[in-house]
């Protein structure tokens, strides 16, 4: 397609056309006559025209040749003060095929209202206002969106730029697709007080965990399925680029506090064909409840290990509870996970949804679905739920689950709080940030028909009266 270009005559006839999907039938008919090559025609439909070079854009209203030339001319006008960072950003700008893959060096004084947001296992996140904001999507050189709220992510001890830091930025750029289910990185900055480098990221309303804590009682199954669909799409984009997330847990899923969910924190992300023997860091890091049993035993982390984490996240979305919140996250739990323990709850889940979850956390990685299969399965159930397909199996199962959950009155210590948020007591040694996991002599992973392996009632520390929940499948969407 690169060698097949629009002629000046064709460009002149269509240069004033709006986006293809807003054209009149007469205009579309003219397009069909003028652009014979099907690949060119599809590119025009998706991306439109560059008014500068009179050729098709390479991305959504984005022309790579023109934009890369603009960036190249601007190289002399900025520097991070670090050769590796400058070179990394410049290469990324020249290579970017779409606006969402553009990163830039952003001086720290371009941010205001910087506030602490959260601390994770490997870094600290702040929120701020970027006064200029990113470049606008359409093809006007240098024009910006204006004030934009962003997150500033600082890796611990990043005064000297590390390969890990740049690797995370690179993984983020590579994994991004136009589905928008992965949190975008706008660029890199540096705090002059600490000399720490920071990633400048999209700012979302908060974590998925916050969303579940505050809004679970109002979430219907349609909303839960859409959350699962968003996460599955983000994971699919990562896997389709030949990558593994490597740290797939609820803390790395962000939310808009409505029904959209976004994958973030690709710090441990690496190509799927990289073995631990090729990696100088052979240690296992993660959040124990989400780490696949084969990984706990020291086997290679694969894309199917990410799928295991998805299964745990999916169960968390369905029940509202963090996995194993009421027990210590220690070697004893790791051993029980390898023996087949999985999160349990008295909250009823429609069987078709639980079947997907059960497949994802199978002890045998080969029996787990891939990300595309998970996306397709959740999408099908979501559509049936959204379209209110009364003859579908999921419709009947949702109705049954809601009725049972409403009827269930559990003898539980901590009811819903006065603000209608989930209230539960987390064990002091339940850890939900990534850390080193170093367990020895764990048993061979297997599935178990008996989930009561701890000798305790798993749900005892959450005493919730489900008769108070408003869980109607016909509830209005937010």
Domain ranges for the chain: 8-56, 67-202, 206-275+282-468
Q: For residue range 228-258, what is the model confidence (pLDDT) as tens digits? A: 999 999 999 999 999 999 999 999 999 998 8
Per-residue pLDDT, averaged over 281-308, amounts to: 92
- What is the rounded CA–CA span in Å between residue 46 and residue 361? 38
Q: Model's pTM, two decimal places?
A: 0.85
Among the residue ranges 304-318, 390-404, 445-459, the one predicted with the least confidence is 445-459
Tally the C-alpha atoms within 13 A of residue 168's C-alpha that lie toward its C-beta.
Answer: 28
Tally the C-alpha atoms within 13 A of residue 131's C-alpha that lie toward its C-beta.
Answer: 9
Report whether 152 contacts 111 (CB < 8 A).
yes
Residue 174 has pLDDT above 80, yes or no: yes
- Going from the C-alpha of 96 to that of each of 54, 78, 102, 281, the distances in angstroms are 19, 18, 6, 30
Distance of CA 366 to the CA centre of its chain: 23
Q: State residue 437 phi and psi, 5-degree precision.
A: -115, 110
Percent of the chain with pLDDT over 90: 58
Smallest CA-to-CA distance from 174 within 281, 95, 285, 66 is with: 95
- What is the rounded CA–CA span in Å between residue 411 and residue 465? 8
Number of Cβ within 10 Å of residue 175's Cβ equals 22
Topology of domain 67-202, CATH: Phosphorylase Kinase; domain 1 (3.30.200)
Per-residue pLDDT, averaged over 283-292, amounts to: 93
Smallest CA-to-CA distance from 228 within 394, 393, 78, 5 is with: 394
Angle, vertex CA 153, rays to CA 152 and CA 156, nearest 5: 140
The model's confidence at residue 163, banded by pLDDT at 50, 70 and 90, is confident
Per-residue pLDDT, averaged over 37-47, amounts to: 86
Q: What is the DSSP letter of 418?
A: T
Smallest CA-to-CA distance from 325 within 213, 204, 439, 438 is with: 213
Residue 1 has pLDDT above 80, yes or no: no
So what's the pLDDT on residue 375?
Answer: 96
DSSP letters, 274-285, are --GGGSS---EE
- What is the rounded CA–CA span in Å between residue 416 and residue 39? 56
- What is the rounded CA–CA span in Å between residue 43 and residue 93? 21
Q: For residue range 87-112, what is the model confidence (pLDDT) as tens digits? A: 999 999 999 988 889 999 999 999 99
So what's the pLDDT on residue 338?
Answer: 97
Residue 155 has pLDDT above 90, yes or no: no
Report whether 231 contacts 261 (CB < 8 A).
yes
Smallest CA-to-CA distance from 249 within 293, 208, 203, 200 is with: 208
Strands (E), 30-175: 49-50, 55-56, 104-105, 111-119, 123-130, 148-155
Q: Going by CATH, does the domain composed of 206-275+282-468 fall within 1.10.510.10?
A: yes
Greatest alpha-carbon pair distance for the chain in Å reads 78
């Amino acid at each position: 397609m690169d060698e097949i270009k629009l002629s000046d005559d064709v460009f002149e006839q269509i240069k004033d056309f709006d986006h293809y999907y807003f054209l009149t039938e007469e205009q579309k008919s003219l397009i069909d006559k003028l652009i014979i090559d099907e690949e060119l025609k599809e590119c025009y439909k998706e991306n439109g025209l560059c008014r500068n070079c009179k050729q098709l854009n390479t991305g959504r209203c984005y022309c790579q040749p023109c934009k890369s030339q603009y960036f190249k001319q601007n190289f002399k006008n900025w520097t991070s003060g670090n050769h590796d960072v400058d070179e990394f950003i410049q290469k990324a700008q020249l290579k970017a095929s779409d606006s969402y893959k553009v990163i830039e060096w952003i001086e720290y004084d371009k941010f205001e209202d910087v506030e602490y947001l959260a601390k994770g296992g490997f870094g600290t996140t702040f929120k701020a206002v970027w006064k200029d904001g990113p470049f606008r999507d359409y093809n006007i050189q240098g024009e910006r969106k204006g004030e934009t709220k962003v997150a500033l992510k600082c890796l611990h001890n990043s005064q000297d730029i590390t390969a890990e830091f740049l690797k995370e930025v690179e993984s983020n750029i590579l994994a991004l697709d136009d589905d928008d289910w992965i949190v975008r990185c706008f660029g890199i900055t540096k705090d002059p007080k600490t000399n720490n480098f920071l990633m400048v990221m999209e700012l979302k309303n908060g974590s998925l965990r916050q969303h579940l804590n505050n809004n679970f009682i109002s979430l219907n199954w349609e909303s839960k399925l859409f959350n699962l669909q968003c996460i599955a799409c983000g994971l699919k984009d990562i896997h389709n680029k030949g990558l593994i997330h490597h740290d797939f847990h609820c803390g790395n899923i962000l939310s808009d506090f409505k029904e959209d969910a976004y994958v973030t924190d690709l710090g441990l992300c690496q190509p799927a064909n990289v073995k631990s023997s090729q990696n100088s860091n052979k240690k296992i890091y993660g959040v124990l409840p989400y780490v696949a049993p084969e990984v706990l035993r020291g086997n290679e982390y694969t894309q199917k290990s990410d799928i295991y984490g998805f299964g745990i996240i999916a169960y968390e979305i369905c029940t509202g509870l963090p996995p194993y919140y009421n027990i210590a996250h220690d070697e004893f739990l790791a051993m029980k996970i390898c023996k087949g323990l999985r999160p349990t709850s008295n909250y009823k889940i429609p069987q078709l949804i639980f079947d997907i979850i059960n497949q994802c956390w199978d002890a045998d990685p080969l029996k787990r679905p891939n990300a595309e299969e998970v996306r397709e399965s959740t999408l099908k159930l979501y559509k049936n739920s959204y379209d209110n397909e009364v003859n579908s199996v999921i419709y009947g199962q949702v109705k049954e689950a809601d009725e049972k959950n409403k009827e269930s009155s559990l003898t539980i210590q901590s009811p819903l709080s006065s603000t209608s948020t989930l209230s539960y007591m987390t064990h002091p040694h339940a850890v939900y940030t990534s850390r080193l996991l170093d367990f020895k002599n764990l048993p061979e992973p297997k599935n178990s028909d008996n989930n009561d392996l701890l000798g305790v009632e798993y749900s005892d520390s959450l005493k919730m009266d489900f008769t108070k929940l408003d869980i109607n499948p016909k509830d209005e969407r937010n």
